Chains A and B, each alone.
Chain A
Amino acid sequence: MSALLEQLARRQLLWHGNSQQAAYQAVSSGSPELDQQLAGGFPASGLIELQTQLGIGELRLLLPYLQQQHSSGRLLVLISPPAMPCADMLCAAGITLSQLVIVTAKTGKEALWAAEQCLQSGCCASVLLWQAGLKLAQARRLQLAAEQGAASLVLLRRPSAGLSLPVNLSLELKPHRQGLQLSVHKRKGGWPGSAFVLDMQSRWPALCFTADAAELPQRKAG
């Protein structure tokens, strides 16, 4: 019996439930609790989808990951960012500004073209793309380009009830007073978990309200 099993296993006809291989190489996200939820961190290559509102902390979540990604000397590309990126914040996060390229595309088609070129060139570590709509075929094409160039594409878009895309990781981000509330919608080689709160107080004290601060009198602007 065991001989038969061994033979089947050698011919890769047998699947073991307990010996799951990681579907992707993980890069630490900079916070241990998030690493634990994502089984190691963000994928080093392929598509990452973040469903998020603008300005709630989505870039702060990614900064440690992006810094590690492009520490090898490869480029970091921002494609059609929502406003002009600020050098101070990126520089403070340890990103080498000379390895940063900002692409402002006029149309969505041009942005996708630029993303594909950057991904398959092999000289980019990560590409951040702010784009509303993405079709299934386009996502598949970008995924192939990312695999070819060993790069990762972070797709930042508003929460939508559209079809799920073929991505390595899909996260939904919601604002929270102490940081961010994350829920994993999809993770390659894993199960989606329940929503959890990522505490950012230690790292970004200025951009969080402490738990007990709610009772204190607050200044209201307006």
Chain B
Amino acid sequence: MALYLYLHFPALQCDSLTDSGQQSLPVAVVDAQHSIVQLNAQAAAQGVQLQMSLATAAALCHNLQLIPYQREQQQAVLLSVAQQLYQVSGEIAPDPPAGLYLRVCNMLQLYHGLDGYRNALMAELKRLPYRYAYATAATPFAAKCLARQQFNQLTADHSLTDAALKRSPLSFTELEADLQQQLQRLGIDTLGRLLALSAAELARRFDNRLVSYLGRLRGEFFHALNYIRPEPGFSRYLELLYDIHDMAVLSAPLSKLLQQLQQQLERNNALCHQLTLRLYCRDSDTQCISIGSAQGEYRAANWLKLCQLQLETNRLQAPVYGLQLEVTQFAPQQAQSEDLFQPQQGNVSALQLVSLLQARLGREAVSGLSLQNRHLPEQASGRPLPLLQSQPGAAALLQRPAFLLPQPVALRETIEISRGPERLCPDGWQLAAQRDYFIGRNKQGQWLWLYRTAQQQWFVHGLFS
């Protein structure tokens, strides 16, 4: 026997906004018709109700924070909830704007019955900040109808749900307002009365919308649901209740997002190497910051440290009203084995250290050094990414300086030559550009690497140290 669970989230957009810091503020979401569609507990305590007009609500509660209803944002939050619940339940179909269908019957074997399933699901829902109502029934529409009445029972006992279904008023069904009105005029005000009538007679009097709804409610017609598939990455948006000017203040909402990322990474047993943080600025372009970790991290605390270092160096041009955290690629977690006999002194690995330095000083400020198989000294030293294992390309030359000057400097002092010359010619044997290198010592005792051009001009190219 099929069993469906419907989860109804009455205040998804409102709950996604509220974080612990702003618990005391009453918040309400207003639609385009200026009526309240979602509100939080503080607003309800002050007497604000759903469907109330904006003017009444404002009169009741002077510090009510109003937020316009945004369909896309609501949908994004709903999908993120579905992704999160996917970890415990296999078949989930979103029902915009505020509901989720879960097909329970296939999951019962995994959880050894309904009790195990309930525990797993409720534990997962508890982590989310959203309020919800739920109900189970034999068909998706029946479950939805009960959940909207806050039936709040997870049961496989169909007699219980059927009785509740028969009592439910028509306003909780999926029927359009004109159909409801027609039925009301006939004196049919509950589903029980409607279901008692024969389908053939209803079909003669009403159009097929009613017949198709009742067929799907009874389970006689097939009800197609679009089940979601898990997405590979992570993307969350967080709208801030007030504009933030200071980078340091950003870390509080950011750590909330990173916690969610950590939960997802832990569940997937994965880590990620790169985050993209988008700061939505008021009256200005969106600022996009990418934060990398060479080793790969999943812990929120480590990511937060890297983000803070990166944010300290950036300046905010305009106040920020929203944050988006995106990860496109997850990498599998690898166990790192440590030396048993030489325990590490610190708890930071070399890759983590490099990421830390890069976050604060900039990506190009940290580099490695590699030996290239080139005869010209300025090409022989490469600056690759740090800690890159490179195969030994060439044997190292002796009599090379420790430091090369970025630009050769004309020689302006007396030099005592010790060794030379060593003739180097650029590629293609351009004899006019050949250089004769000498090792010399100046009056201060510094050892210089000098060259003489074909035009008999002298330059300092390096410093022995």
Q: Which residues of A contact B (CB under 8 A)?
A: 53-60, 72, 75, 81-92, 97-106, 110, 113-114, 117-118, 120-124, 148-150, 174-176, 206-209, 218-222
Q: Judging by beta carbons under 8 Å apart, are A72 and B383 in contact?
A: no
Q: Judging by beta carbons under 8 Å apart, are A221 and B361 in contact?
A: no
Closest CB in chain B relative to A18 CB, distance in Å: 33
Q: Judging by beta carbons under 8 Å apart, are A101 and B366 in contact?
A: yes
User: Which residues of B lie under 8 Å from residue A54 when comparing CB positions?
Assistant: 446, 463, 465
**A87 CA to B445 CA, complexed, in Å:** 23
| A220 touches which of B349, B415, B450 (Cβ 8 Å) | B415
**A102 CA to B348 CA, complexed, in Å:** 18
**A59 CA to B458 CA, complexed, in Å:** 25
User: Looking at A81, A123, A176, which has the most chain B CB atoms within 10 Å of its CB?
Assistant: A123
Closest CB in chain A relative to B458 CB, distance in Å: 6
User: Which residues of B lie under 8 Å from residue A103 when comparing CB positions?
Assistant: 357, 361, 365-366
Q: Judging by beta carbons under 8 Å apart, are A87 and B353 in contact?
A: no
**A101 CA to B350 CA, complexed, in Å:** 10
User: Which residues of A lie under 8 Å from residue B367 when comparing CB positions?
Assistant: 101-102, 104
* B24 within 8 Å of A (CB atoms): no
Q: Judging by beta carbons under 8 Å apart, are B370 and A87 in contact?
A: yes
- Known contacts: A92-B397, A97-B370. The answer to whether A86 contacts B444 by CB under 8 A is no
**A100 CA to B418 CA, complexed, in Å:** 30
- Known contacts: A206-B399, A221-B438. The answer to whether A56 contacts B346 by CB under 8 A is no
User: Which residues of B lie under 8 Å from residue A55 when comparing CB positions?
Assistant: 403, 446-448, 463-465
**A72 CA to B342 CA, complexed, in Å:** 10
* B462 within 8 Å of A (CB atoms): yes
| A123 touches which of B348, B382, B396, B415 (Cβ 8 Å) | B348
User: Which residues of A lie under 8 Å from residue B438 when comparing CB positions?
Assistant: 221
A–B complex contacts, Cβ < 8 Å, 18 sampled? A57-B447, A60-B464, A72-B342, A82-B403, A83-B406, A86-B377, A86-B402, A86-B404, A92-B397, A97-B368, A98-B389, A101-B387, A102-B367, A121-B348, A148-B346, A149-B345, A149-B346, A206-B418
Q: Judging by beta carbons under 8 Å apart, are A110 and B418 in contact?
A: no
Q: Which residue on chain B has the smallest CB distance to residue A209? A: B418
* B interface residues, how many (CB within 8 angstroms): 68
Q: Judging by beta carbons under 8 Å apart, are B344 and A122 in contact?
A: yes
Q: Which residues of B contact A (CB under 8 A)?
A: 342, 344-350, 352-354, 356-357, 360-361, 365-372, 377, 380-383, 386-390, 396-406, 411, 413-419, 438-441, 444-448, 450, 452, 458, 462-465
Q: Judging by beta carbons under 8 Å apart, are A114 and B406 in contact?
A: no
Q: Which residue on chain B has the smallest CB distance to residue A101? A: B386
* Secondary structure call for the B interface: mixed
Q: Which residue on chain B has the smallest CB distance to residue A56? A: B445
User: Which residues of A lie under 8 Å from residue B444 when comparing CB positions?
Assistant: 53, 56, 175
Q: Which residue on chain B has the smallest CB distance to residue A210? A: B418
Q: Judging by beta carbons under 8 Å apart, are A110 and B360 in contact?
A: yes
Closest CB in chain A relative to B412 CB, distance in Å: 9
* Secondary structure call for the A interface: mixed
Q: Which residue on chain A has the smallest CB distance to residue B388? A: A98
**A83 CA to B404 CA, complexed, in Å:** 6
| B346 touches which of A97, A122, A175, A207 (Cβ 8 Å) | A122
Closest 6 CB pairs of A and B: A175-B445, A122-B346, A122-B345, A88-B400, A91-B396, A83-B403
User: Which residues of B lie under 8 Å from residue A220 when comparing CB positions?
Assistant: 414-417
User: Which residues of B lie under 8 Å from residue A206 when comparing CB positions?
Assistant: 398-399, 418-419, 439
Beyond the given pairs A57-B465, A221-B440, 9 more chain A to chain B contacts, judged by CB atoms under 8 angstroms and listed by A's residue number, are: A56-B447, A82-B403, A87-B371, A88-B380, A98-B390, A121-B348, A123-B346, A148-B345, A175-B446
Q: Judging by beta carbons under 8 Å apart, are B365 and A85 in contact?
A: no
- Known contacts: A53-B446, A88-B371, A103-B357. The answer to whether A207 contacts B418 by CB under 8 A is yes
| A221 touches which of B345, B365, B371, B411 (Cβ 8 Å) | B411
User: Which residues of A lie under 8 Å from residue B452 when comparing CB positions?
Assistant: 221
User: Which residues of A lie under 8 Å from residue B380 when comparing CB positions?
Assistant: 86-88
Q: Judging by beta carbons under 8 Å apart, are B350 and A75 in contact?
A: yes
User: Which residues of B lie under 8 Å from residue A83 when comparing CB positions?
Assistant: 403-406, 462-463
Q: Judging by beta carbons under 8 Å apart, are A219 and B346 in contact?
A: no
**A72 CA to B382 CA, complexed, in Å:** 24
User: Which residues of A lie under 8 Å from residue B383 when comparing CB positions?
Assistant: 84, 102
| B465 touches which of A58, A106, A219 (Cβ 8 Å) | A58
| B371 touches which of A97, A121, A150 (Cβ 8 Å) | A97
User: Which residues of B lie under 8 Å from residue A150 when comparing CB positions?
Assistant: 345
**A58 CA to B370 CA, complexed, in Å:** 22
User: Which residues of A lie under 8 Å from residue B346 when comparing CB positions?
Assistant: 120-123, 148-149
User: Looking at A54, A58, A101, A120, which has the most chain B CB atoms within 10 Å of its CB?
Assistant: A101
| B348 touches which of A88, A104, A105, A122 (Cβ 8 Å) | A122
Q: Judging by beta carbons under 8 Å apart, are B400 and A92 in contact?
A: yes
Q: Judging by beta carbons under 8 Å apart, are B458 and A122 in contact?
A: no
**A55 CA to B403 CA, complexed, in Å:** 9
**A123 CA to B353 CA, complexed, in Å:** 8
**A192 CA to B295 CA, complexed, in Å:** 45
Closest CB in chain B relative to A144 CB, distance in Å: 13
User: Which residues of A lie under 8 Å from residue B447 when comparing CB positions?
Assistant: 55-57, 207
Q: Judging by beta carbons under 8 Å apart, are A117 and B357 in contact?
A: yes
